[in-house]
Amino acid sequence: MSPDGSLAAALRVALPILLAFAAGALVLLALGKNPLDYYTFVFRRGLFSWPGLQETITRSAPLLLIAAGLIVAFRAGIWNLGVDGQFLLAAVVCSAVAPWLIGLLPRWLALAASLAVAAGVGASWSLIPALLKARYGVNEIITTLMMSFLGISLANVLIKLVFRDPTTTVPQTPTLPVPYRLPRLFDTTIHFGVVIALVAILLVHFVMTRTAFGLKLRIVGANPRAAVHAGLPMSGLTFATFALSAALIGMGGAVEILGVHGTVRADWNPAYGLLVIPLVFLARFNGLGSILFVLFFAALQIGGESAARRLGVPHYYVLLLVSLVLLFLAIVEYLDHLTARRRTAV
Amino acid sequence: MEALFTATFLTALLYGVVTAGLPLLLAGLGEQISEKAGVLNIGIEGMMLAGAYAGFSAALATQSLWLGFIAGALAGIGVALLMALFCIRYGMNQIVIGIALTLGVEGLTALLHHFQFARTRPSLGRAPDFSLPWLSDIPVIGPALFTHNPLVYLGLALVPLLAWLFRRSAIGLNLQAAGDKPGALDASGVSVAMTRTGAVLSTGALAGLGGAYMSEVGAGLFVPYMTGGAGFIGIVLAMLARGRPLWVLYGALLFGVSLALTTALQVGGFNIPTDVVQMLPFLMVMLVLVIFARHSVLPPALGLPYVRGER
């Protein structure tokens, strides 16, 4: 790509973000808050302080795995919107299994097995949408969303009725003792899950852009009819896509539990799903770009959570900001398209 | 156990079915209009939530339920305008924009709730019911089905009206063409963009009205995320109804039953965690989808922006 092209690409990404922050500032003003104070606080807390930066990087672990899962699905033209159910169910089962496995296996083997279990749980929760899509062509947007609502409730049922830790008053799963959790990196609070997540998203990027399997998925996504004519095994690929996507998302739930919380409390639902989807779109399904956006968003989230306590702006504000970024991205893209068309017309 | 079968219980249950089903009916009918015209309106959840917030705020400020309903419908139309602008005019991806709008409305209404209502927690009084003459005197069924907010009857009247509109009017034909073969509609001199915009705005009005009913009549207050997936259920209803409004009504009642059971079982003294019961409506959707999967039909041009001259 020419330097001119990459500059335009950078602008196309930076502009929507800047515009969204500006529009968001107006909302803050209307609510009687100083936007400059808010933004400075959020970024100082989330990016430019050592503890904040560590939290941001730690937070990006589950987000990166979700992003990896979404990239696989979206590139194959499958709209897996069931992230939250897949994520939570995997987290709950993983947190129930891990303390038990620790007693049977060496630490690293137990952790690896827990991760695998989480991946399996995530994948299994995408089985029905995959089946309906592959067999009857039922729109997966609806089925994955419904399975997501189901999964969130089922996760709570499991915590309260099946995996409940009898020693605590608040319903939660048994706690994985700190020394058995995912190891920390060097002297930081960042856990090994970040490495797993980075490897996963890089691997996904490589597979989707450089391998025959990735090419097949992209053909299915870009033009299903062409894929059928090319003799690709459509239903097999559909199942593979769903399973891979949901397994990665399930692992996202696992690293959050094995690395940070050690347990799942009833009614815990970080609702990362609808938030990571826009990030993946902003990156145009590119794995490398997603890493940047996820880090940026994680910083916003960490800073925003802190700002909720300090400045009295609830963290809902971050939702609004993400939505504005998407809408401005749409506008910028449209204008870009328009000028390109005008240039060719002349 | 005997408490389950008393007349009062049955009345309360049936009453709950209608109250829970109406927002779904309005959302489902609204989504049906959009889908017919070829727009998959994922933003409907945001439209409902906007309606719920605006309806409640307006009703609280003016002490008039009807002004609240109007405000709710207008808020839904407002969100729908954005959807139409981005997806129909700009031809952007309908799923992305739908999600963006839903997220934005979730964030905005939760923020506003935090600053306006979180401390004082205002609520509206019980909304007055309108008893239909004669019918409401029937024991059990009367107070359960024929003693409701007038919006319920309007919602029900919409079913035959839309059925007629879809089947017998030029508007219905245009809508159908916009979803099945937009090129043909364009060739016959009718603007695809205008047809689809009209459809999306109607969806917004109905969804907003449904949301306003949820906050004003159903709950009497507004809480963040209060629509809780009702819009998404509306999408399922529209998908399974294959363009027939009456089927949306059946579906809405079916989901109304599972939603009403949630409260009824707890009132009846059953000690089941709420989470189990909350699964019912979604379990029902999946069951229906698995059983009737072969029969769910969506228009061919659904979700695709229309660009003249492009194949």
Chain B CB contacts of A319 below 8 Å: 103-104, 106-107, 110
Number of compact structural domains in chain B: 1
User: What is d(CA B259, CA B17) in angstroms, rounded to the nearest whole number?
Assistant: 7
CA separation, residue B236 to residues B25, B40, B139 (Å): 11, 11, 34
Report the gap between the CA of A153 and the closest CA in chain B (Å): 5
In the numeric block, which tokens belong to residue A17? 């973000």
At residue A1, the pLDDT reads: 43
- For residue B15, give both structure tokens: 């009453």
Q: Quick check: B36 and B243 in contact, CB under 8 A?
A: yes
Between CA A203 and CA A290 the distance in angstroms is 13
Three-state SS for B136? helix
Q: Is A288 exposed, middle or buried (0-12, 13-18, 19+ CB in 10 A)?
A: exposed
| A85 falls within a domain | yes
Residue A174's domain spans which residues? 59-267
Three-point CA angle B157, B162, B167, nearest 5°: 135
Residue B301 has a pLDDT of 63
Q: Is the pLDDT of residue B295 over 70?
A: no
Answer yes or no: is B290 within a domain. yes
Q: Kindly state whether B293 is in contact with chain A, defined as any CB-CB distance less than 8 angstroms.
A: yes
Is there a domain that residue A80 lies in? yes
Does residue A226 lie within any of the structural domains? yes
3-state SS string over chain A?
A: CCHHHHHHHHHHHHHHHHHHHHHHHHHHHHCCCCHHHHHHHHHHHHCCCHHHHHHHHHHHHHHHHHHHHHHHHHHCCCCCCCHHHHHHHHHHHHHHHHHHHHCCCCHHHHHHHHHHHHHHHHHHCCHHHHHHHHHHCCCHHHHHHHHHHHHHHHHHHHHHHHCCCCCCCCCECCCCCHHHCCCECCCCCCECHHHHHHHHHHHHHHHHHHCHHHHHHHHHHHCHHHHHHCCCCHHHHHHHHHHHHHHHHHHHHHHHHHHHHCCCECCCCCCCHHHHHHHHHHCCCCHHHHHHHHHHHHHHHHHHHHHHHHCCCCCHHHHHHHHHHHHHHHHHHHHHHHHHHHHHHC
Question: Phi and psi for A271 in degrees, rounded to 5?
Answer: 50, 50
ipTM over 0.90: no
Output the domain CATH number for residue B187.
1.10.3470.10
Residues 6+ apart with CB under 8 A from B305: B87, B88, B91, B92, B94
Confidence of residue B311 (pLDDT cuts 50, 70, 90): very low
Nearest C-alpha in B relative to A334: B90
Tell me if B41 sits within 8 A of B235, measured CB to CB: yes
Q: What is the pLDDT along chain A (346 residues), one digit of tens a residue?
A: 445 567 777 787 788 889 999 999 999 898 888 888 889 998 888 888 888 899 999 999 999 999 999 999 999 988 898 999 999 999 999 999 998 998 888 888 999 999 999 999 999 999 999 998 888 878 788 889 889 989 998 999 999 888 888 888 888 888 888 888 888 888 888 888 899 999 999 999 999 989 888 888 888 888 888 888 888 888 888 999 999 999 999 999 999 999 888 888 888 888 888 889 888 888 888 888 899 989 988 998 899 888 888 888 888 898 898 889 888 888 888 887 777 777 776 5
Please check whether residue B209 lies inside any domain of the structure: yes
Which chain A residue has the Cα nearest residue B288? Answer: A143
Q: Who contacts A257 (Cβ-Cβ below 8 Å, separation ≥6)?
A: A91, A94, A95, A98, A176, A263, A264
Q: Which of A164-168, B138-142, B212-216 has the highest average model confidence (pLDDT)? A: B212-216
Q: Return d(Cα A88, Cα A62) in angstroms, integer.
A: 11
User: What is d(CA A218, CA A204) in angstroms, rounded to the nearest whole number?
Assistant: 13
Average pLDDT, chain B: 84
Q: Does B239 touch chain A (CB under 8 A)?
A: yes
Q: How many residues does chain A have?
A: 346
Tell whether B307 is covered by a domain: no
Residue B128 lies in a domain: no
Q: What is the pLDDT of residue B270?
A: 67
Cβ–Cβ of A142/B290 closer than 8 Å? no
Q: Is residue A67 part of a domain?
A: yes
Is the CA virtual torsion A107, A183, A300, A42 positive or negative?
positive
Q: Is residue A51 part of a domain?
A: no
What type of residue sits at position A111? L
Q: Is B149 part of a structural domain of the chain?
A: no
pLDDT given at position B196: 92
Region of residue B127 (left: phi > 0; alpha: psi -120 to 50; beta: else): beta
CA distance to partner chain A, nearest, from residue B262 (Å): 13
Give the closest of B91, B114, B275 to A160, CB-based.
B275
Q: Name the pLDDT band for B300 (thresholds 50, 70, 90).
A: low
In a domain, A276, yes or no: no
Q: Does the CB of B50 have a partner CB in chain A at under 8 Å?
A: no
Q: How far apart are CA A82 and CA A74, in angstroms?
A: 13
* pLDDT score recorded for residue B74: 97
Taking CB atoms and an 8 Å limit, are B103 and A278 in contact across chains? yes
Q: Tell me, what's the pLDDT at B296? A: 60
Domain that holds residue B54: 2-120+158-295
d(CA A220, CA A238): 9
How many whole angstroms separate alpha carbon A113 and alpha carbon A132?
30
How does residue B49 score in pLDDT terms, banded at 50, 70 and 90?
very high
Residue B2 pLDDT greater than 60, yes or no? no
pLDDT higher at B294 or A230: A230
Is B267 or A45 the better-scoring residue by pLDDT?
A45
Q: How many structural domains comprise chain A?
A: 1
Cβ contacts (< 8 Å) between B282 and chain A: which residues?
146-147, 149-150, 153
| pLDDT for position A3 | 52
Q: What is the pLDDT of residue B220?
A: 84
What CA–CA distance (Å, rounded) separates B47 from A95?
37
Q: At residue A17, what are phi and psi to the nearest 5 degrees? A: -65, -45
- pLDDT interval class at B80 (50, 70, 90): very high
Chain A hits for B40, CB-CB cut-off 8 Å, are: 141
Supply the angle between the helices B192-213 and B44-62 in degrees, to the nearest 10. Answer: 50
CB proximity list for A19: less than 8 A, separation 6 or greater? A324, A328, A331, A332
Helix pair A35-46, A3-30: axis angle to 10 deg: 120
Query: Does residue A12 fall inside a structural domain?
Result: no
Helix (H, G, I), strand (E, B) or coil at B148: strand
Calculate helix-pair angle for A50-75, A212-222, nearest 10 degrees: 70
B84 vs B272, residue with greater confidence: B84
Residues in chain A closer than 8 A to B229 (CB atoms): 145, 149
- Residues A127, A239: Cα–Cα separation, whole Å: 8
Nearest to B212 by CA among B278, B274, B155, B277: B155
Bigger pLDDT: B151 vs A254: A254
Question: B124 by DSSP, 3-state: which?
Answer: coil
**Is the confidence at residue B1, as pLDDT, over 70?**
no
In a domain, A5, yes or no: no
